Each structure stands twice: as structure tokens, then as C-alpha cells.
Amino acid sequence: MLARGGGAFVNMASTAGVSGGMGITAYVTGKHGIIGLTKSAALDYAACRVRINVAAPGPILTGWIAALDDSARQPIVRAVPMQRIGLPEQVAQTAAWLCSEDASFITGAAILVDGGWMAGAAGY
């Protein structure tokens, strides 16, 4: 990217990277680290026209959430202000946008893809 005169990275974290979580200390620590790395690297490479951002998904229909039956999934749905679980394509679209020229003045950002999950975390 440096030789080409610029480009864009999108790292993947989680909403756990901007909050805490009981019983998932190692996971939360790793996700906070990704966000910190992203912010610092964005500063280091901004003048080189390399943009570095991070997508931080919340409840997305992958892995363990997809494996849950509907009744087990409902408490998660109710906890999301948009009242639904996100789709993997929505995270991919966010990453693609961050790599596009439409996001050419964005670097060092952590973009939450979470249906309002973190906006309402303090009392939704």
C-alpha cells in the first residue's frame, strides 16, 4: 500500500471492544487491543494515505447465535434497539464502504454495526 500511494484496511473487532463483558475477559481484551491497534496505526499511516478503520459488530446471525433456536434467540433480539439480529452481509457492506472512496476521509474510526446495541447499553 505504501508503494502504491495508499489504500484502506478494515480490522474486525466487536462491541466487546468498546465495553466489558462478564466471563469473557480474554475476548474483551483482544477486541480492545484491535481497536487500540487500529487507532494508533491510523495515526502512523494517515500521512501516507493509508486509512485504517475497524468494524465492531454486535449481535450478528453467525456462530452461536445462528445455532440457537428461536426462543433462545428472542432475549437477544429484545435487547437490540432495532429489535433484530444483524446479518453477516451488513458487516461486509460496512467493511466495503470503509474501503471505498465514499469513506476517503475516515481513518482511526471504530464503526459499530450493532442495531443500536451499544447506544442503549446503559439502560435501553
User: What stretches of the chain show up as alpha helix (H) in DSSP?
Assistant: 25-45, 63-67, 70-79, 88-99
Instruction: Exactly one of 2, 20, 27, 66 is catalytic; name it.
Output: 27
Handedness of CA 36, 42, 95, 124 (dihedral sign): positive
> Distance between CA atoms of 105 and 32, rounded to whole angstroms?
23
Q: Establish whether 27 is a catalytic residue.
A: yes
Catalytic residues: 27
